[in-house]
Amino acid sequence: MVKVGIVGASGYTGIELVKIFARHPQVEITFATSDSYVGKQLSDAFPCAYDIPLIAHEAAPLAEADVVFLALPHGASADFAKRALDAGASVIDLSADFRLHDAAVYEKFYGLKHHVPELLPQAVYGLPELHREQIKNSKLIANPGCYPTGVILGLAPIVRAGANDGTIIVDSKSGVSGAGRKPSLTTHFVEVYDNFAPYNIGRVHRHLSEMEQELREIRENATLIFSPHLLPVNRGILSTMYVKLSDGWDEQALRELYADTYRGEPFVRILPSGQIASLAHSVYTNYCVISIHAVPDVGQAIICASIDNLVKGASGQAVQNMNLMFGCSETTALL
Amino acid sequence: MVKVGIVGASGYTGIELVKIFARHPQVEITFATSDSYVGKQLSDAFPCAYDIPLIAHEAAPLAEADVVFLALPHGASADFAKRALDAGASVIDLSADFRLHDAAVYEKFYGLKHHVPELLPQAVYGLPELHREQIKNSKLIANPGCYPTGVILGLAPIVRAGANDGTIIVDSKSGVSGAGRKPSLTTHFVEVYDNFAPYNIGRVHRHLSEMEQELREIRENATLIFSPHLLPVNRGILSTMYVKLSDGWDEQALRELYADTYRGEPFVRILPSGQIASLAHSVYTNYCVISIHAVPDVGQAIICASIDNLVKGASGQAVQNMNLMFGCSETTALL
Amino acid sequence: MVKVGIVGASGYTGIELVKIFARHPQVEITFATSDSYVGKQLSDAFPCAYDIPLIAHEAAPLAEADVVFLALPHGASADFAKRALDAGASVIDLSADFRLHDAAVYEKFYGLKHHVPELLPQAVYGLPELHREQIKNSKLIANPGCYPTGVILGLAPIVRAGANDGTIIVDSKSGVSGAGRKPSLTTHFVEVYDNFAPYNIGRVHRHLSEMEQELREIRENATLIFSPHLLPVNRGILSTMYVKLSDGWDEQALRELYADTYRGEPFVRILPSGQIASLAHSVYTNYCVISIHAVPDVGQAIICASIDNLVKGASGQAVQNMNLMFGCSETTALL
Amino acid sequence: MVKVGIVGASGYTGIELVKIFARHPQVEITFATSDSYVGKQLSDAFPCAYDIPLIAHEAAPLAEADVVFLALPHGASADFAKRALDAGASVIDLSADFRLHDAAVYEKFYGLKHHVPELLPQAVYGLPELHREQIKNSKLIANPGCYPTGVILGLAPIVRAGANDGTIIVDSKSGVSGAGRKPSLTTHFVEVYDNFAPYNIGRVHRHLSEMEQELREIRENATLIFSPHLLPVNRGILSTMYVKLSDGWDEQALRELYADTYRGEPFVRILPSGQIASLAHSVYTNYCVISIHAVPDVGQAIICASIDNLVKGASGQAVQNMNLMFGCSETTALL
């Protein structure tokens, strides 16, 4: 049995981890922490059936866990990761604190000095489709952001093949759970319902840094415009991506490229011609569903990628990483 | 022209007042206040086209208004009403502060000592269908609560006729705008969407006090169970009400009773047999739409009443009251 | 391995069965049928990852299945059940065709002559909490309706104890998937969204017949008013039920009654004092979640019951029944 | 008084016309037709308070109207327009039948031979911001499509100024009412809710033809990729448009360009720097709300345009056109 600890169980990624663990035959929850529900049960924090006691973050018996999942805001995670590693546990961090290799980029996008930059070199960006072998051998996983997961998986083949020419346009639409559980006017029901709103469009959203880091590791000039929008639904991200193609690429060639790239991947699904990825393809699953559409008149292609931001975009991918790290079958509890 | 002031324009009832006034040929907005957007425009507080400057509550030039609309939380309204009346303005208070004739009942349900109980005798409960003549001659209107508006209009005929026998069950469902604009976990999009939740059920919700006050003025023993539920929509209240009938009442008799009661009322609509009131009948209108359904086997009747909580349940009714007070046609800006 | 056949896999209960089976280690899908997608895959009928071929209803190799799940409209199911039984398979029928013991009541509520009334005596009403032992030994299960599941579980203890006095009011609210997948104006997005609508209120909805049949088996005078409403969400039913209490019953006594009744039940959850059942308690689970609220002033109680109409109200309960019939652990694939 | 006839009053654009006319002091509804509700009232076709009799299309007394609004599917409209013109009425056609100047383009995009191509030369594309003077003098208005209205208004300044370089990406998101009231699986509540789906992406959607026609009248090489998506809301279209800028253009220059272009336009609103157009800016209004965002690093600009598809994208714009044609103030009934 893998003994897991959850730090920050009363947020949306925390409860999602618990739901997945309930179906995982090789996992035992050792502790779960919360800042706002200390001394209560998880069933007090959410309308759910999980009677798991919630203890204070500081009271977490880190040494008793094989792996600690950090579902904390960025900034708070970094210190906790160090404590958990020092206590001998592996760490899967769902915050942004270890995603960027370069502390200066982190500081620029997050407006924070990194607390433990000395740990950055050992952190692995936990996208199994790109870094599976490193993940297996790592003790510190930076679980990818929700937007980057779909965007990187959707664009990696095209970037690797050099099939793109110029700036790629990423128009993304996300459900509200991606914004976390802290109340604000932005997430007030009345402001979101019946509405649809772009925000942080252009080249300013924090997740742009992750996308370009990973894509530039593949090919250095990859450049994006990234425009997130808030969708009036709870879960799911759909990214519609516009790529000017370099010479010689058509839909058939793209289809072969994607099929080759993701052959055997358990959680990437390429739709057949005639189908377009929608939120419904991925929500409540760990799949990233991708569709490919050439626009021959104008030499472009449209790539649509759909994920559930709480599953493949957060907790599902975190468990996928744990499965890899602890020798479980990669798909356990995720199908 | 009627010169109006709005105290609390950056809440949902405040913006709704502004929208209605934009269509009112006899109204001129003299000032609008806000606590959170002082120095900004209404178009900074809402995604709207109204470039109306927002000043601090305390800076409101009360004496320059013919009538001041108070869209403040209960407790805060009472003092402001006194100041406005002292300055010579009429007051239409959208809070609960002047709805209950008895300060002790107010204290019991709202947990607050009433600040200006000396004003209670002159306050008129602003439900035109019950108190039209008093409204015309009043300077202080207690605009009814959202739930009570539909419930009282739906039950008044039956209670007046003595057609009910025993406790009436009121099962109400409300959109989220009724909870106000202040962020909280209860109104967080993710908690409300895909959900439907009863709250304060039984005999504990504050609005029960209003309903029973008004119905007991009609017949003294009127007693309700009132169970509100939070609907995942922005606007509208539907109340489904179960009445055990006293002898001799059938659907035909009830239909005649309601037709007689509301004949000529511009904003009460009784649906014909075969139609059931739904939210869609009333949202974005000032109508209270009522349907009547006898259940002959068991000697009961079901009354459904639908309103838009921000219009007939708040700002529309407030303007209806203003129209009565200032000699405008009652329906101006409300059709 | 249990070999299952699904007749009607391209409807909402069909796909839900497939999702549950994907997690069931002792089930193998032998065939899946559809009327509208013959020759296609399930992934053509739904945005999902299940590449299961869909054959015509008539082509179903019934004899190859241990159990056939019928996800067909009422009327169509009865004949199919006979064919499957004759072929040696067990049958779990998700339609209404075998729920009512009395063909005359069926005819009255469904407007159809029953096709195989001779099978009615052997059909078991598949509500495990009431009929677990009979289910284990049956070859023909009438899987309960969605509304009746929550209502019967919510009221059975009180009716059995004789704690109720007079007509019980059942005010139910359901998500739209309960209405099936066939397009109609009633289920058109624009008509449902932003709306909330009562329908078939009083004593006319078909499901009333099931509720009263089961409750009258417990105590013969049980009588309900049943008012369903259409909620603008996909899944879930919340029923708010109003019971006049007979003498001597208070909240404490009711709590003990429900705790005793459902002790050890894996899928009934009674909420502690202070919590109220909401849709979020049950959706995407096989739980029926119940909360109990006395209203002492007026001698009544409010019982709230929440289920997911597609899980405990249909496909989850069907699998729970299958688990019982085939000796699997009752909770397999359902937690 | 302008005497108006409505052909097709029981669809979403029909009821929206009626709502607007209810506030229009110079309009009198002469007749309203429907195919599915002949002999009934508008209040039977919608949950509304309009007791307007619905007659058969063929029974419409066209000669009694000053202007006939055609809210019919494309194909059906063309013939009706001819009849109405022959009867002496002006025509405002909300279908696509007269929007494309070239019958061959119509045939290509709509798969239909045009029935009355001889009328095309006299039809005016009813976008007041581009063709106000022609509209005033026309008897046959082709009311623009919903997507084209926002897209053309959002791009016209940039195209006229030659500020764009290469293919423009238009990523549009629309509420469901744009798909009409006819039930289909695509508009079934359960399929749309909790979902978000691209459709007809690339260069295949019918509305692309309108957009390019109008933009190419301004500058001949204008070329778009147009990707519509179905949003789970009832109303509103938001288009996010990506433009590669030609040399010398920055945000300041763009802001001046848009301010100059739309100065004095009553229904175009350019948001100040720091605000982004969202659905909430325009729904239930006749505004087209535009925001401008340069992305300097990559020499591009993002233009966001928001309209209500039923108001500025259909019935509101139709009334704006009528106001122009009949000498009413352009904004009457539309503020």
- Reduced to 3 states (helix: H, G, I; strand: E, B; else coil), residue A78 is helix
Nearest CA-CA distance, residue C179 and chain D, Å: 10
Q: Cα separation of B276 and B90, whole Å?
A: 39
Strands A168-174 and A237-244: antiparallel
Those residues whose C-beta lies under 8 Å from the C-beta of residue B102, and which sit 6 or more positions away, are B120, B213
Q: Cα separation of A319 and A18, whole Å?
A: 10
Strands (E), chain B: 2-7, 27-33, 67-70, 90-93, 124-125, 140-142, 168-174, 197-198, 224-230, 237-244, 268-270, 288-295, 300-307
**Of residues A332, A326, A216, the one with CA closest to residue A266:** A332
Q: Are B51 and B41 in contact (CB under 8 A)?
A: yes
The residue-averaged pLDDT of D75-79 equals 95
The residue-averaged pLDDT of D240-250 equals 97
Q: Walk me through the domains of chain C, giving residue ranges and CATH numbers.
A: 2-122 (3.40.50.720), 147-308 (3.30.360.10)
| pLDDT score at A301 | 98
DSSP-H helix ranges across chain C: 12-21, 42-45, 76-86, 103-110, 128-136, 146-160, 189-192, 207-218, 251-262, 316-325
Q: Does B146 qualify as catalytic in the annotation? A: yes
Neighbour-count burial of B104, counting CB atoms closer than 10 A to its CB (0-12 exposed, 13-18 middle, 19+ buried): exposed
* Interface predicted TM-score of the whole assembly (ipTM), two decimals: 0.97
| pLDDT score at C255 | 98
**Of residues A305, A283, A319, the one with CA closest to residue A71:** A319
| pLDDT score at B327 | 98
Q: Cα separation of B62 and B85, whole Å?
A: 9
Unique residue bearing structure tokens 């006293």: B246
Q: Are C136 and C232 in contact (CB under 8 A)?
A: no
CA dihedral A68, A74, A78, A80 (to 10 degrees): -40
Catalytic residues of A, by residue number, are: 146
Which of C176, C187, C188 has its CB closest to that of D181? C188
At residue C105, what is the residue type?
V
Q: Cα separation of C321 and C299, whole Å?
A: 37
Q: Are A170 and A327 in contact (CB under 8 A)?
A: no
At residue C314, what is the residue type?
A
Query: Cβ–Cβ of A280/C22 closer than 8 Å?
Result: no
In three state form, how does the secondary structure of D156-206 look? HHHHHCCCECCCEEEEEEECHHHHCCCCCHHHEHHHHCCCCEECCCCCCCC
Distance between alpha carbon D172 and the CA centroid of its chain, in Å?
A: 14
Q: Are D141 and D321 in contact (CB under 8 A)?
A: yes
Give how far Cα C108 sits from Cα of C204, C206, C212, Å: 10, 9, 14
Q: Are A241 and A170 in contact (CB under 8 A)?
A: yes
- Tally C-beta pairs within 8 A across B and C: 128
Q: Cα separation of C240 and D133, whole Å?
A: 60
Which of C203, C280, C298 has its CB closest to that of B225? C298
- Report residues of chain B scoring pLDDT below 70: none
Q: Cα separation of B321 and B331, whole Å?
A: 10
Count the neighbouring beta carbons within 10 Å of the beta carbon of residue C1: 11
| pLDDT score at D334 | 97
Strands A2-7 and A67-70: parallel
Unique residue bearing structure tokens 């991925």: A282
Q: Are C119 and C98 in contact (CB under 8 A)?
A: yes
Nearest CA-CA distance, residue B14 and chain A, Å: 15
pLDDT tens figures, C80-133: 999 999 999 999 999 999 999 999 999 999 999 999 999 999 999 999 999 999
| pLDDT score at C235 | 98
Instruction: Return phi, psi of residue D156, to 5°.
Output: -55, -45
- Report residues of chain A scoring pLDDT below 50: none
Query: Cβ–Cβ of D49/B287 closer than 8 Å?
Result: yes
Best of A185, A192, A196 to mutate (most D CBs within 10 Å, chain D) = A196
pLDDT tens figures, B248-267: 999 999 999 999 999 999 99
Return the H-helix or E-strand segment holding A240.
strand A237-244
Full-model pTM: 0.97
**Of residues A328, A335, A330, the one with CA closest to residue A26:** A328
Q: Cα separation of C155 and A335, whole Å?
A: 36
Query: Cβ–Cβ of D49/B194 closer than 8 Å?
Result: no
Unique residue bearing structure tokens 């990669």: A330
Instruction: Return phi, psi of residue B278, to 5°.
Output: -130, 170
Taking any CB pair shorter than 8 Å as contact, residues of chain A touching chain B are 12, 47, 176-177, 181, 183-185, 187-190, 192-194, 232-234
Instruction: Return phi, psi of residue B332, to 5°.
Output: -55, 130
| pLDDT score at A199 | 98
Q: Chains touching chain D at 3 or more Cβ pairs under 8 angstroms?
A: A, B, C
pLDDT tens figures, C46-79: 999 999 999 999 999 999 999 999 999 999 999 9
With contacts defined as CB-CB under 8 Å, which chain C residues touch D181?
185, 188, 190
Which of C227, C238, C277 has its CB closest to that of B240? C227
Query: Cβ–Cβ of D194/A279 closer than 8 Å?
Result: yes
Query: Angle at the Cα of D27 (from D74 to D83), degrees rounded to 5?
Result: 35
| pLDDT score at B160 | 98
Sheet containing A2-7: order of strands: A27-33, A2-7, A67-70, A90-93, A140-142, A124-125
With contacts defined as CB-CB under 8 Å, which chain B residues touch D47?
278, 280-281
Which of C47, C181, C233 has its CB closest to that of D188? C181
At residue C177, what is the residue type?
S
Query: Cβ–Cβ of C12/D193 closer than 8 Å?
Result: no
The residue-averaged pLDDT of D204-219 equals 98
Query: Cβ–Cβ of D194/C12 closer than 8 Å?
Result: no
| pLDDT score at D29 | 98
Within 13 Å of residue B133, how many CA atoms lie on the same side as its CB?
0
- Per-residue tokens: A137: 């051998």
- Reduced to 3 states (helix: H, G, I; strand: E, B; else coil), residue D81 is helix
Unique residue bearing structure tokens 């086209």: B49
Unique residue bearing structure tokens 């200032």: B326
Query: Cβ–Cβ of D278/A232 closer than 8 Å?
Result: no
pLDDT tens figures, C249-305: 999 999 999 999 999 999 999 999 999 999 999 999 999 999 999 999 899 999 999
Those residues whose C-beta lies under 8 Å from the C-beta of residue C273, and which sit 6 or more positions away, are C251, C255
Query: Cβ–Cβ of B242/C233 closer than 8 Å?
Result: no
Q: Cα separation of C42 and C125, whole Å?
A: 29
| pLDDT score at B298 | 97
Taking any CB pair shorter than 8 Å as contact, residues of chain C touching chain B are 167, 169, 171, 173, 191, 194-199, 201-203, 223, 225, 227, 229, 231-236, 238, 240, 242, 276-280, 283, 293, 295, 297-298, 300, 302, 304
Query: Cβ–Cβ of C181/D187 closer than 8 Å?
Result: no
Nearest CA-CA distance, residue C258 and chain B, Å: 20
Q: Are C141 and C134 in contact (CB under 8 A)?
A: no
Strands A288-295 and A300-307: antiparallel
Q: Cα separation of C245 and D21, whole Å?
A: 54
- Per-residue tokens: D325: 């044609």
Count the neighbouring beta carbons within 10 Å of the beta carbon of residue D142: 27
Query: Angle at the Cα of C52 (from C46 to C55), degrees rounded to 5?
Result: 95
Query: Cβ–Cβ of C335/A48 closer than 8 Å?
Result: no
With contacts defined as CB-CB under 8 Å, which chain C residues touch B204?
none
Of all residues in chain A, the percent with pLDDT exceeding 70 is 100
| pLDDT score at D92 | 98
Choose the catalytic residue: D146, D288, D304, D328.
Answer: D146
With contacts defined as CB-CB under 8 Å, which chain C residues touch B238?
196-198, 229
With contacts defined as CB-CB under 8 Å, which chain D residues touch A242?
169, 171, 225, 242
Count the neighbouring beta carbons within 10 Å of the beta carbon of residue C239: 28
Q: Are D245 and D299 in contact (CB under 8 A)?
A: yes
With contacts defined as CB-CB under 8 Å, which chain C residues touch D184?
183
pLDDT tens figures, A243-258: 999 999 999 999 999 9
Neighbour-count burial of B86, counting CB atoms closer than 10 A to its CB (0-12 exposed, 13-18 middle, 19+ buried): exposed
Q: Are D74 and D96 in contact (CB under 8 A)?
A: yes
pLDDT band at C327 (very low <50, low <70, confident <90, very high): very high
Query: Cβ–Cβ of B278/D47 closer than 8 Å?
Result: yes
Which of A201, A233, A293 has its CB closest to that of D201? A293
Q: Cα separation of D144 and D100, whole Å?
A: 10
**Of residues A21, A110, A29, A14, the one with CA closest to residue A64:** A29
